[in-house]
Amino acid sequence: MKFNELQVDGNKDRKRVGRGISAGQGKTAGRGTKGQNSRTGHKHYATFMGGQGPLMQRVPKLHGFKSLRVPAQVVYTDMLSSLDGKTADNMTLFDANLIATPYHSVKIILRGEVNGKVTVKVQGASKGAQEAIKKAGGSFEKVETPHLPSSKPKEKKE
């Protein structure tokens, strides 16, 4: 016999259990005798483990918290040497491949020396980095993070 030759009734009636001893599924109705699964009503929940501690109590707890704040992109003072005489803002740092995106906050951290006069206009700088920039003849100004330009087309005013 082949699989496609089987005579299968697609609309088989469900088995009606607990309808008397002569029906074949009477008395215990296929549930066995005693125990949790023989009872009607509430069944155990998805994470139930047979009466031992629930799954939620066995999973290790995550202590502390994870901040949703995006950390600032870091630029070190020795990287500013390539921008001698220029104004270092988010766009020029992005063009010089020193940061990943110009639309997130940038912080200057002290590492090495600043060679050349650089005007820095970013969102933050450590105290040591500010002093190193001033010592090299440059200046630091704290500015807002630039916003991503809107992708909506501008409407014409008539």
Please say if the pLDDT value at position 157 is more than 80. Answer: no
- β strands within 12-105, DSSP E: 73-76, 87-88
* 52-68 residue pLDDT tens: 877 777 788 888 888 89
- Amino acid occupying residue 55: L
What pLDDT score does 61 carry? 82
Instruction: For domain 73-142, give its CATH number from 3.100.10.10, 3.40.50.2300, 3.40.50.300, 3.40.462.40.
Output: 3.100.10.10
Mean pLDDT for 25-29 is: 88
Binned at pLDDT 50, 70 and 90, residue 74 comes out as: very high
Cα angle: 88, vertex 74, 109; to 5 degrees: 80
pLDDT for res 45: 78
In this predicted model, which residue has the larger pLDDT, 30 or 100? 100
Q: What pLDDT score does 57 carry?
A: 78
User: Could you give the 3-state DSSP secondary structure of residue 92?
Assistant: helix
* Location of structure tokens 């630029």: 75
pLDDT at 158: 65
Query: 85, 116 in Cβ contact below 8 A?
Result: yes
Write the CA distances from 66 to 63, 97, 105, 144, integer angstroms.
9, 29, 19, 25
